[in-house]
Amino acid sequence: MTSAALLENGTNSAPLGWLERVGEIASNDLNRAAADIDSGKLYPADILRAFGKAGAWRQHILPDGKVDLLSAIKGITLIGEVCGATAFMAWCQNTLGWYIANSDNAILREKYLEPVLSGRQLGGTGLSNPMKSFFGIEKLRLKAKRVDGGWRVKGNLPWVSNLGADHLFGTICENADDATHKIMILVDCADPNVTLLPCDPFLAMDGTGTYGLQFNDMFIAEEMVLADQAMPYVERIRAGFILLQAGMAAGNMRDCISIMERTKASLGHVNCYLDEQPEDFAKSLAEIETLVADLCATPYDRSPAYWRRVVDARLVAGEMTVKCAHAAMLHSGARGYVMANRAQRRLREAYFVAIVTPATKQLRKMLADMPA
């Protein structure tokens, strides 16, 4: 069966309880670890595996081959209410599963899909540079030479997250002999010909297992090719790639709304003079969630009108997350300025929602370049 036939849109029939279990792990283990993840002391591999065991990474790819992005987003949202860095890793992991499930390469699917959906195998996605290159923002950084049984890949990527020595990620390279030909590949970090380079400390997202990648003429066997023709494949996966990011936005917004609500008892008499109130953000969040739920019903819709709505929803989600976290700081006042208070962490994490690919400026360019 080809992946197109394998993956249709449908309703999740997974046993009830997985979301409650994800919520429990988020409020307990993840809550305790959030500060260490934020400061970069901890890459939470065990917690990510526990989420996988609970079913968090398999909600979008159902056993009957149907697709349910909305359930996966609900899981990421619960995680994101507690920790934005882990919500980002949840997106990385879910997106890796999304790539593999949508591949026509049966050998690759057979070998890697179940380990990734179960969380036994962790990994991420290196599509920022390719996504920027497709919209004329920068050049594709990885070049591939055809060799017997596969490709040899050279080049580097500045950042890929949710990685470690035994992790996987998907990315795209350009055929060195034909720039119109792009290949989407799965990279095994255990290969000695790909080097993981530590990054300088970040403003947030430090515990996300983020590395620079150096490809030293790395051999990619045919069985690691996600799509020999990356462009039509990207058209298939691009809406899912973007829509799954909604969980990062919704989780951060939910927590910031709750931070604002909690200040009411002691500061409500003065916070009421602030322009933006938690009720306003709750309304915006509900609108974003309704729109995303609607878009999740048809992730394989290739019409320009659908694509514009997806891009627009992503832009609104990123901008609203930053506004909401900014308001949570203003409502919190001095107590939010204390490092131990999470309001400042939520603001730093919110910026990432707006700068991770597709970043706000890229989304605006994409909308400007689209036919009216």
Ligand X SMILES: Cc1cc2nc3c(=O)[nH]c(=O)nc-3n(C[C@H](O)[C@H](O)[C@H](O)COP(=O)(O)OP(=O)(O)OC[C@H]3O[C@@H](n4cnc5c(N)ncnc54)[C@H](O)[C@@H]3O)c2cc1C
Give the CA distances from residue 298 to residues 77, 159, 233, 241, in Å, rounded to whole numbers and listed in that order: 20, 30, 16, 13
Stretch that binds ligand X, among 29-37, 103-111, 125-133, 248-256 (CB under 6 A): 125-133
Q: Show the beta-strand stretches assigned E in 86-192.
A: 123-126, 143-147, 150-160, 168-175, 178-188
Give 66 or 143: the residue with its C-beta nearer to ligand X. 143
Task: Return the residue matching tokens 């994800």.
Answer: 22
Is 48 a binder of ligand X (CB under 6 A)? no
Q: Give Cβ neighbours of residue 204 (< 8 Å, ≥ 6 apart).
A: 38, 84, 85, 345, 348, 349, 351, 352
Q: Which residues pair with 171 in a beta bridge?
A: 126, 185
Q: Contact letters (x/-) for ligand X, 191-230, by CB under 6 A?
A: -----------x--x----x--------------------
Question: And the tokens for 69?
Answer: 């992005």
With CB under 6 A as the contact rule, which of the stretches 59-67, 121-129, 180-188, 305-313 interacts with ligand X? 121-129
| Residue 250: closest CA among 215, 217, 219, 286 | 286
CB nearer to ligand X: give 134 or 202. 202
CB of 71 to ligand X, least distance (A): 23
Burial class (CB in 10 A: 0-12, 13-18, 19+), 263: buried
Q: Which of the stretches 35-43, 45-53, 120-128, 304-312 binds ligand X when contact is defined by CB under 6 A?
A: 120-128
Closest-CA residue to 26 (of 74, 80, 85): 80
Among 69, 357, 363, 366, binds ligand X (CB under 6 A): 357
Which of 138, 166, 235, 294 lies at the binding interface for ligand X (CB under 6 A)? 138
x/- site string to ligand X, residues 273 to 312, per CB under 6 A? Answer: ----------------------------------------
Is 158 a residue that touches ligand X (CB under 6 A)? yes
Choose, by CB under 6 A, the member of 93, 128, 263, 344 that binds ligand X. 128
Among the listed residues 36, 53, 355, 365, the single contact to ligand X using CB under 6 A:
355
Contact between 52 and 25 under an 8 Å Cβ cutoff? The reply is no
Instruction: Decide whether 205 or 347 has the Cβ nearer to ligand X.
Output: 205
Q: Is 54 in the site for ligand X (CB under 6 A)?
A: no
Rounded Cα distance between 229 and 247, Å, is 29
Q: Locate 155 and state its tokens.
A: 């080049």
Which is nearer to ligand X, 18 or 233 (by Cβ)? 233
Report residue 173 as tokens.
């390279």
Joined tokens for residue 49:
């595996």
Q: Among residue numbers 68 through 97, which ones bind ligand X (CB under 6 A)? A: 92
Binding site for ligand X (CB under 6 A): 92, 124-129, 138, 158-161, 202, 205, 210, 355-357, 359, 362
